[in-house]
Amino acid sequence: MRISDERYRRDLRRLHLAWRMVRLGARTPTIMLWTALSKYNVRKLRNDYADDSAPRKGLKGKTPFRVEYFCKSARLRCEAPMLAGFLRHFDVLPAERGVDVDELPDLARGERLCSAYEQFRLSCPNTAIPFERAITLLTELVRGELIRLAICSTCGELVVHDCLCARPPRCAYCLHEAHAGLPYFQIRRTELTPRPNVETESSEAYQPTLF
């Protein structure tokens, strides 16, 4: 059987993408989903070529899926919007709404996903968001049921907002200032306005406070 050039290039891209995901710390099921490679091929690639530089810690167990992770600390509240910005810049995060999350995993988007996360790691080398969590962030932002991109109601910065939260969207800095009762919080709130040229989903009205 003759192997066409197009099929050869496609298979080679799948192997390259799988190797990039291995180096970024992806689990075998995740690599299988995004590359359409078999479990045998992925494990053979990992066992034969992955050295000590490839992450192996935390590869067992279920794939992380809880969005509460991105609100655990102020550091994660700052890093999550930054990562979402890279996902939007590299066209990994669809601009249109109504995209089925099952249609996300494909070869081209997987390559852009790795590029976005690699650039994110260059900007934030000691990030607390691993590659698997980045895929969770992407999936849940596309689904839009639990979290969404919004604009900080105080300073206008990009935030990842909890859809079930009753209070207006606030970044980690403004949230800290408001809870700490710092005197310059009210000054920032009156002087700074949201940036009008940032395209996010913040046009939807959020639920006001109940009390």
Cα–Cα distance list, 127 to 56, 76, 123, 134, 150 (Å): 17, 8, 9, 11, 22
pLDDT, tens only, 84-104 = 999 999 999 998 877 889 999
For helices 39-49 and 5-24, what crossing angle results, to 10°?
60
Task: Write down the H helix ranges in 50-153.
Answer: 74-89, 107-123, 131-143
pTM of the complete model: 0.78
Q: Name, in order, each residue with C-beta under 8 angstroms of 141's C-beta and a sequence gap of 6 or more.
A: 84, 87, 93, 147, 148, 149, 160
Residue with tokens 């009205």: 205
Segment 96-113 mean pLDDT = 91
Q: Which of 69-83, 107-121, 194-208 has the highest mean pLDDT?
A: 107-121
State the amino acid at position 206 in one-letter form.
Y
